[in-house]
A = this chain, B = another copy of it.
Amino acid sequence: MTIKEVSEKYGLTPDTLRYYERVGIIPPVPRKKSGVRDYDEAACGWVELMKCMRSAGVRIEALIEYSSLFQQGDETAEARKELLMEQRRQLMERMEDMRRSLDRLNRKIERYERLTGKAES
């Protein structure tokens, strides 16, 4: 697959895909003779994973480390697991913040609804 096709498939721009590869959150993508990127399934898998993690707010830095550990082979499995657990912890923390905020928004909106109701009655 070309970079364009992958970009359409996952909703990331070609620039972003090149950026992700450059910083190393996506391992080097296979190339054609000409040097043009030719994404295979593994590469697409990385793209999808990183899109997912980024959309949840996981830092590039953490993803670089994960990817780099992965490329160092099996003996880094434990370290990767630690990293993932730490990210999970942070993710849950952020979700808790959001839950609080959502509660608050809901209460505020409700108040506005009561006001509007009164104004109409």
How many copies of this chain sit in the oligomeric assembly? 2
User: Given the complex of chains A and B, what is the CA–CA distance between A49 and B44 in angstroms?
Assistant: 41
User: In the complex, what residues of B have CB within 8 A of residue A104's CB?
Assistant: 49, 52-53
Is A8 interfacial (CB-CB < 8 Å)?
no
Complex Cα spacing A105 to B57, Å: 13
Name the residue on B nearest A52 (C-beta): B101
| Partner among B58, B87, B115 whose Cβ is within 8 Å of the Cβ of A77 | B115
Taking a contact as CB atoms under 8 Å apart, the answer to whether A116 and B81 are in contact is: yes
Residues of B within 8 A of A87 (CB): 105
CA distance A75 to B42 in the complex (A): 56
Q: Nearest residue in B to A106 (C-beta to C-beta)?
A: B88
Within 8 A of B (CB), among A15-49: 49
- In the complex, whether A4 has a CB less than 8 A from a CB of chain B is no
User: Are B85's CB and A92's CB within 8 A?
Assistant: no
